[in-house]
Amino acid sequence: MTPQAYCQEKAASSGSSFYYSFLFLPTERRKAITALYAFCREVDDVVDDCTDPSVARSKLAWWATELDSLYKGTPTHPVTRALQPHLESCQITRDRLLAVIEGMQMDLDQTRYLDWPGLRKYCWHAAGVVGELSAGVFGYMDDRTLEYATNLGLAFQMTNIIRDVGDDARRGRIYLPVEDLQRFGVKAADILNARHSEEFEALMAFQAQRARELYVRAINSLPDVDRRAQRPGLMMAAIYYTLLDEIENEKWQVLEQRISLTPIRKLWLAWRNWVGGARPVIAHIRRSERHHSHSSDAADNSCGPQ
């Protein structure tokens, strides 16, 4: 199996929303983003699949060493061999790839986050820096596009956290900040024991609003000159934002099930935004922002004097 075929199989078998946006790219950029995605999957699987933390740390250390080999021109793994031809043309830097590995190390060292700044740091390592790497693969002319890519990556990771609350709890992890749990009167034991409540729904609505604000910041910071090149990221935004809406429509029933979109729906969303120049997702996010802003104002006004 060639390195590229290995990466293609890794991406296709994951069932990730990211895969659907790759399908529309020119060949070389598709190869580069597929190899980058495969790298992220490899290091993420180390944490998810290893039950012994010491083994996981050893494997992550190996990946850090493999990055040294990659940038010396002597990669040995199929993923790094597939990445090698694209390093310079796609601005795939060692520091950013290493930051992804550091995010996986955080998963081994920390299962709780006190506040949003702490969680945001983790989200940057897990997805924000991946957004920056992806922006380089897709191509950009204005450096402000990196701000867009960072915020979009953070938005994706928050959407993942909301979707995976139950799955993560079964692994002993709670990513929702402790201060948010305390604010809404939700105990860690409630999440670990899958106890759904009105308080939990309010907590999740708050997290979803945080994610939506990140989506809005992302699209508002994307320069027009780079919108066409960055369509793959916006196609992913269409899928992830629709998933967030779906989770809300299901009343945040994420403790005992994993809500997802069907493959055909993901493909339709990706195609619609490819041919529409990403205008559908941008319009949807902005409409949703106004709707949720008005809903929030109405809720605040209904509380009366404090």
Residue 278: pLDDT band (50, 70, 90) is confident
| Secondary element (H or E) of residue 115 | none
Count of domains observed in the chain: 2
Question: 79, 108, 137: which is the final residue of a domain?
Answer: 108
Distance CA 61, CA 79 (A): 16
Domain-embedded: residue 53: yes
- 12: containing domain: 1-108
State whether 54 and 104 are in the same domain.
yes
pLDDT tens digit string along 42-85? 999 998 888 889 999 999 999 999 999 999 999 999 999 999 99
pLDDT over 60 at 298, yes or no: no
The length of the chain in residues reads: 306
| Triad 132, 31, 24: Cα angle to 5° | 85
pLDDT over 50 at 240, yes or no: yes
State whether 70 and 170 are in the same domain.
no
Domain-embedded: residue 305: no
Question: 66, 81, 108: which is the final residue of a domain?
Answer: 108
State whether 123 and 270 are in the same domain.
yes
